[in-house]
Chains A and B, each alone.
Chain A
Amino acid sequence: MAGTRGCYTKALIHRLVLENLKHRPVRTLLSATAIGVQVTMILTLVGVSQGVLGDIAARSRGTGADILVRPPGSSVLAFSGDMPQGIVGLVRKEPHVVMATGTKVQSIGNFDSITGINLEEFNAISGGLRYLEGGPFQGPDDLLIDDVYAGAHQLHAGGKLDLGLTWRIAGVVESGKLSHIFARLDSLQDKYSARDKVSVVYVKLDDPKNLAAVIDSLKVKLEDYKVFSVDEFISLISVDSIPILKRFTNVVIGLAVIVGFLVVFLSMYTAVLERTREIGILKALGASPGYIMAILLRETFVLAVAGAIAGVLMSFGTQWIMRVFVPTMPMLIVHAWWPWAALIALTGSLIGAIYPGLKAARQDAIEALVYD
């Protein structure tokens, strides 16, 4: 029985808290796991958001273009708006432009899209697609897919692919350039009734030093059109610039807080009911409501910390699942969000512990002592 009072007090309370949690291992495990799930939920959402946006940014950079032009009123990630293909010719006439090519983005659901390209022009801007299987388009029904998409769907050159329309896979290319799925621009325009329409014009300059001048000039000539340098466009690809994604993230965080609240509320409520007699004993010994509340809050804190650690570990599991089953939606492990997700879990948990804690603190000692 040695040591200073402060150290001892903490040690005894901590031991009581840990012993209480060990006393009901299944409930403790389930509670921590449930808290962990909400942490994983947050980390997965953030990780997928940043992973997908990062992937889009990387593929945009992979085009090799210096400037991109998009239709009036289009938003950062809405590639599927259309503009006349004649814009491409106008852009090509601009001084210092060595190459411009129009692409058509056609959404096919499930966050996937086919990008129509003029293969020769696209190769000239991007430095060329590298074929891992098969080769370039042979006919109007041919597709090129990248290795990520091929791996996700176990596809190979020469196979068929049903994307609402049936396509033949002409080749599998290395990922990282513009899109996961490519079709011939004219073919895609025909199949989706968008003749002479393009979604984005990619522009290559003779010298990056002329970037500002060309952008200024294009903005004058193409009034209302969106003209970005690729670097500027990439800088806009963030959760903050996509209001719906930001709102969705906030909704998930709100749900996580509610889940944490409910889990801890139920766990602590049953714990208080089970420990009615023990609470009575503590009260008989002179424990104040604050002392009893502090024990329950400490238990909640331990559960939340254990849950947060479990949640972080489980997020590596979801990353693996995403990589194996949905490789076109890469998930990053965003370390900066670990403390935030833990704080959110802790907040929900502590809120959930308040009512059971108050119930325990207010329990009548005599009734508690005769409780069986």
Chain B
Amino acid sequence: MTDEPPADVPMIEIRNLHKTYRVGEIDVHALRGANLSVARGEFLAVVGPSGSGKSTLFHILGGLTPPTSGTVHIGGQDLLGMTDAQRTDLRKSTVGFVFQKYNLLPTLSAADNIAIARDIAKKPRETDPAFDQILELLGLKGRLHHKPRALSGGEQQRVAIARAIVNHPAILLADEPTGNLDTENSTAVLGLLRDLNTRLGQTILMITHNPEAATYGNRIAKMRDGRVVE
């Protein structure tokens, strides 16, 4: 893992987090004092209705948007006051994303989609043996030279997972990772996330609407009206 904090420090520590968007002339308070702590090696499922602030939390933790106020620490790094360049570095090295729509680059093969994450992070293409084992675990060995259009939804999501963890991020953020998959593929993907968590100790924060998917986590956090309520 990169930028690992001491073992007793939470991997994610959020205190009184606020995020306000300006939409036209209206201020939208997406997060209203959210508090959350995620231990190293934990698999946390975040559930909640639409508009509860899940996606905003996901975007802030991923360094895609800055918080308005409060404190957010990821892997020991304070996100508040980070510049755009520092948040870019955070995405490069500390967090990995898995999206509902897979978000693979359509013109590159599966192998190159994974490799480009290494390239952006300025790491050599050669991966360590542990990652090769992960590729085995993900069942992608024979599919790496195919482009996304030649892969099933389940395969594309597995490539996206491989891409997300190829740089050994401190946390893996997954936003509705099974939202576009059928039951069989959903089960497989959730099983893989749990395997990554249990076998490798990968810290995972997964946002989902699906209560069944949420049960794959070690813990479930519920959000409502911009706060973590339980």
Complex: how many Å from CA A3 to CA B115? 13
Cβ contacts under 8 Å, B126 to chain A: 1-2
- Nearest CB in chain B to that of A362: its residue: B84
Q: How far is the CB of B75 from chain A (nearest CB, A)?
A: 14
Asked whether, in the complex, the Cβ of B97 is within 8 Å of the Cβ of A1, the reply is no
For B85, B88, B89, B99, the residue with the greatest tally of chain A CB atoms inside 10 Å of its CB is: B88
Cβ of A277: which chain B residues have Cβ within 8 Å of it? Answer: 103
Question: Could you tell me if B103 and A281 are in contact, using CB atoms closer than 8 angstroms?
Answer: yes
Question: Of A8, A16, A288, which contacts B124 at CB under 8 A?
Answer: A8
User: Are the C-beta atoms of B85 and A288 separated by less than 8 Å?
Assistant: yes
Are A285 and B115 in contact, with the CB atoms below 8 A?
no
- CA–CA, A281 and B62, complex, Å: 13
Q: Which of B89, B99, B106 contacts A23 (CB 8 A)?
A: B106
Beyond A1-B125, A366-B64, whether A19 also contacts B120 by CB under 8 A is no
Residues of A within 8 A of B59 (CB): 366
Q: What is the CA–CA distance of A16 and B112 in the complex, to the nearest angstrom?
A: 9
Q: How large is the interface on A (under 10, 10 to 19, 20 to 34, 35 or more residues)?
A: 20 to 34
Residues of A within 8 A of B3 (CB): none
Q: Is the interface of A mostly helix, strand, loop or mixed?
A: helix
Binary flags per residue of A344-372, CB closer than 8 Å to B gives 1, else 0: 00000000000000000000011001000
- Contact of B107 (CB < 8 Å), options: A8, A16, A283: A16
Mask: chain A, 1-37; 1 = CB below 8 Å from B; 0 = not: 1111100110011011001101100000000000000
In angstroms, Cα B114 to Cα A130, docked, is 76
Contact with A284, one of B103, B106, B108, B121 (Cβ below 8 angstroms): B103
Check: B50 CB closer than 8 A to any chain A CB. no
Question: Within B97-142, which residues are at the interface with A (CB < 8 Å)?
Answer: 97, 99, 103-108, 111-112, 115-117, 119-127
Residues from chain A with Cβ under 8 Å of B99 in the complex: 284, 369
Which residues of B have CB within 8 Å of A4? 124
With A15-B112, A285-B91, A366-B65 already in contact, the answer to whether A291 and B120 are too (CB < 8 A) is yes
Q: State the Cβ distance, A11 to closest chain B Cβ, in Å.
A: 9
Interface size (B, Cβ < 8 Å)? 34
B178 CB-CB contact with A under 8 Å: no
Contact of B119 among A12, A23, A283, A369 (CB under 8 A): A12
Inter-chain contacts of A369 with B (CB < 8 A): 64, 99, 103
Q: How far is the CA of A291 from the CA of B97 in the complex (A)?
A: 19
Contact B115 A12 (CB under 8 A): yes
Interfacial residues of chain B within 147-190, with CB under 8 A of chain A in the complex: 163
- B93 close to A286 (CB less than 8 A): yes
A–B pairs, 25, beta carbons within 8 Å: A1-B115, A1-B126, A1-B127, A3-B125, A12-B116, A13-B119, A15-B112, A16-B105, A16-B116, A20-B107, A23-B106, A278-B106, A280-B103, A281-B105, A282-B120, A283-B64, A284-B62, A284-B103, A285-B91, A285-B92, A285-B116, A285-B117, A286-B117, A286-B120, A369-B99
Q: Interface of A with B (CB < 8 Å)?
A: 1-5, 8-9, 12-13, 15-16, 19-20, 22-23, 277-278, 280-288, 291, 365-366, 369
9 smallest beta-carbon distances between A and B, as pairs: A286-B92, A19-B107, A286-B91, A5-B124, A1-B125, A8-B125, A281-B103, A365-B64, A287-B120
